[in-house]
Structure 1
Amino acid sequence: MISRIASIVFRLFFAALSLGAVGWQLFAIHLPGGQSVVDFFSYFTNLGNVLLGVVFLIGAVRLARGRTEASTADAAVRGAAVVYIVFIGIVYSALLGDAQLGGLTPWVNVVCHFVMPIAGVVDWLVWPPLRRIALSTALWWLVFPAVYTVGSLVRGAVTGFYPYPFFHPGVVGGYPRVALYCIAMLVGLLALALLVRWAGNALGARSERRLEAVPQC
Structure 2
Amino acid sequence: MTGSQAAGRLFAALIAVTAWLAVVLRAWIVTSFVMAQGRTALDGLVTVFSYFTLQANVILAIVATACALRGEADGFLTRPSTRAAVTVYIVIVGVIYAVLLAGLRQLTGLAVPVDIALHRVVPVLFTLYWLIFVPKGRLAWRDPLAWLAFPALYVVYSLIYGALTGRYLYPFSNVPVLGYPRALANAALILLAFYGLGLALVALDRALAGSAIRARQ
Deviations 1:58-106 (A, max 9, x none): 111113xxxx141577222211111100010011111111223999811
What SS class does the counterpart of residue 19 from structure 1 fall into? helix
**Aligned residues of 1:138 and 1:194 also touching (Cα < 8 A):** yes
Q: How many residues align?
A: 202
What SS class does the counterpart of residue 32 from structure 1 fall into? helix
Supply the distance in 2 between the matched residues of 1:72 and 1:158 (Cα, whole angstroms): 34
Deviations 1:128-167 (A, max 9, x none): 3356112222211011101110111122112212111111
The more displaced of 101-110 and 80-89 is: 101-110
Residue type at the aligned position of 2:64: F
In the TM superposition, 1:104-115 aligns within 5 A as 105-115=111-121
2:69 equivalent among 61, 69, 72: 61
Flag the 1:154–1:101 CA change in 2: closer, same or farther, 3 A. farther
**Aligned residues of 2:27 and 2:49 also touching (Cα < 8 A):** no
Supply the distance in 2 between the matched residues of 1:124 and 1:4 (Cα, whole angstroms): 13
Match of 1:134 in 2: 140
1:203 equivalent among 178, 191, 208: 208
After TM superposition, what 4+ stretches of structure 1 lie above 4 angstroms from structure 2? 101-104, 205-208
Unaligned runs of 5+ residues in structure 1 are: 209-217
Match of 2:32 in 1: 32
Residue type at the aligned position of 1:9: L
2:166 equivalent among 135, 154, 160: 160
1:89 aligns with 2:59: no
Supply the distance in 2 between the matched residues of 1:44 and 1:19 (Cα, whole angstroms): 15
Unaligned runs of 5+ residues in structure 2 are: 36-42
Supply the distance in 2 between the matched residues of 1:11 and 1:45 (Cα, whole angstroms): 19
Q: Percent identity?
A: 33
2:180 equivalent among 175, 184, 187: 175
What SS class does the counterpart of residue 109 from structure 1 fall into? helix
**Aligned residues of 1:89 and 1:113 also touching (Cα < 8 A):** yes
Say what the alpha-carbon RMSD is for the aligned residues: 2.3
